[in-house]
Homo-oligomer: A and B are copies of this chain.
Amino acid sequence: MDKRWIPARAGDALADIDTPALIVDLDRFDANIERLMQSVAGCNVRVRPHAKSHKCVEIARRQVAAGAIGVCVQKTSEAEPFLAGGIADVLVTNEVVGARKLANLAALAARFPAARVGVCVDDASVVELLGAACDRAAARVDVYIELDVGHDRAGVADPGAAVALGRAVAAQPSLNLRGLQAYFGSAQHRRGVDERRRAIESAAALARATRDALAAAGLPCDTVTGAGTGTFLLEAASGVYTEIQPGSYVLMDVDYAKNEQDPLWPRFDQSLFILATVMSRRHDASGDRATLDAGLKTFSTDSGPAQPAFAGWTVRGVSDEHTVLDRIGDGPALALGDKVRLVPGHIDPTVNLHEWIVAVRGGRVEAVWPVDARGAVY
């Protein structure tokens, strides 16, 4: 949409922010980044935060300034703004399939020769086409064999298949075999501490056997990368993973807050909120209802609707541009025009709905960050 519709300017008061808007509490945001880095300071792992959750170059720069080696993304088009914004190591933690998509990836790598651009593979036919695309573009790409460690979405199933694929990668002069992508996505959201622990023990065992099989075949495997906010300390302590990919820790959401807390974990506070305005009120015999100007086009509901960041009100319904709240207790009085905060159910698809993140500190807007990779699905 027209870039003139920007919700705030640096220096604005909170009350001046147009709604619905994403706002990030910078004190909490800074603390989340710091706590993540401190929590793995004693482990021999690099930190490569996943940028699919924030899609924002400014956030990536702050993660790198705190010690991250680069970022992960999910799509070639999503990689572009981060490379253009100076992030020197960008890994597409996903398969890229099809001639046009492979040519786009090779062209992107050729455009940023000083940066590292990585991608995952799980099929030998794609390796050959990727090598040819990189040859034509005079590009070099880092390649990671995706290993299916339990997520059951993509990846080869066992060490033997990984070795066969590794040989195919090694045969391509423009491809640089780096190692294994071993991400157990669904384990991040298993509620119990023990469930998460068992899942990552099994993932690490398969990753170890596969790494050893690659080594026995004389193939390089410098990197075993994976992990998310729900499990990263387990991978970091495994002795197998050399790199972790947490994404949600910096912003957080309702879904992650449902996990049983592991006492070993650092505390990550909710830093991202949706700011919405009360645009209709009713208070009569039928109840006490406040309707907000934020709905399905402002937050995703795949992990449930956004939730009020205050007590005493509950979500009755969500439609395209509205959330209807019912008063259920001693919540704050809400008046027409009041601005309230909601906590997103799932940040990744929620952030993707927005052009801007309004960064606030001490009741003032400190900056307005573009969501550079919004809509980057190609």
**Contact between B349 and A5, CB atoms less than 8 A apart:** no
**Given A18-B101, A320-B74, A377-B321: A296 and B302 interface contact (C-beta under 8 Å):** yes
**Given A278-B97, A279-B154, A373-B1: A353 and B355 interface contact (C-beta under 8 Å):** no
- Nearest chain B residue, comparing its CB with the CB of A80: B2
**How far is A320 from B302 in the complex, measured between Cα atoms in Å?**
10
Q: Which single member of B5, B153, B284 contacts A291 (CB below 8 Å)?
A: B153
Contacts of A266 in B (CB 8 A): none
**Contact between B320 and A16, CB atoms less than 8 A apart:** no
**How far is A318 from B322 in the complex, measured between Cα atoms in Å?**
25
**Contact between B300 and A296, CB atoms less than 8 A apart:** yes
Q: Which single member of B100, B126, B154, B318 contacts A302 (CB below 8 Å)?
A: B318
Contacts of A19 in B (CB 8 A): 98, 378
Q: Mark A285-317, 1 if CB is under 8 A from B, else 0.
A: 010010101101110111000000000000001
Total contacting residues, chain A, CB less than 8 A: 72
Contacts of A281 in B (CB 8 A): 123
**Given A319-B153, A375-B1: A301 and B298 interface contact (C-beta under 8 Å):** no
Contacts of A349 in B (CB 8 A): 296-297, 320
Q: Mark A148-168, 1 if CB is under 8 A from B, else 0.
A: 000011110100000000000
Contacts of A77 in B (CB 8 A): 1-2, 5
Q: Does A20 contact B (CB under 8 A)?
A: yes
**How far is A123 from B290 in the complex, measured between Cα atoms in Å?**
13
- Nearest chain B residue, comparing its CB with the CB of A185: B319
**Contact between B95 and A279, CB atoms less than 8 A apart:** yes
Q: Does A181 contact B (CB under 8 A)?
A: no
Q: Does A174 contact B (CB under 8 A)?
A: no
**Contact between B296 and A376, CB atoms less than 8 A apart:** no
Interface of A is mostly: loop
CB neighbors of B among A54-113 (8 A): 74-75, 77, 80-81, 94-98, 100-101
- Nearest chain B residue, comparing its CB with the CB of A284: B157
Q: Which single member of B153, B155, B157, B279 contacts A317 (CB below 8 Å)?
A: B153
Q: Does A116 contact B (CB under 8 A)?
A: no
**Contact between A280 and B375, CB atoms less than 8 A apart:** no
Q: Does A258 contact B (CB under 8 A)?
A: no
**How far is A47 from B164 in the complex, measured between Cα atoms in Å?**
62
Q: Does A125 contact B (CB under 8 A)?
A: yes
- As for how many copies of this chain the complex holds, the number is 2
**How far is A360 from B316 in the complex, measured between Cα atoms in Å?**
40
**How far is A289 from B122 in the complex, measured between Cα atoms in Å?**
14
Q: Does A352 contact B (CB under 8 A)?
A: yes
**Given A123-B336, A153-B280, A352-B353: A321 and B97 interface contact (C-beta under 8 Å):** no
**Contact between A374 and B1, CB atoms less than 8 A apart:** yes
CB neighbors of B among A338-374 (8 A): 346, 348-349, 352-355, 372-374
Q: Does A239 contact B (CB under 8 A)?
A: no
- Nearest chain B residue, comparing its CB with the CB of A151: B319
**Contact between B378 and A5, CB atoms less than 8 A apart:** yes
**How far is A317 from B151 in the complex, measured between Cα atoms in Å?**
11
- Nearest chain B residue, comparing its CB with the CB of A123: B336
Q: Mark A233-249, 1 if CB is under 8 A from B, else 0.
A: 00000000000000000
**Given A75-B321, A291-B153: A279 and B97 interface contact (C-beta under 8 Å):** yes
**Contact between A375 and B353, CB atoms less than 8 A apart:** yes
8 contacts between A and B (CB under 8 A): A1-B374, A5-B376, A97-B278, A97-B337, A152-B286, A152-B289, A301-B302, A352-B353
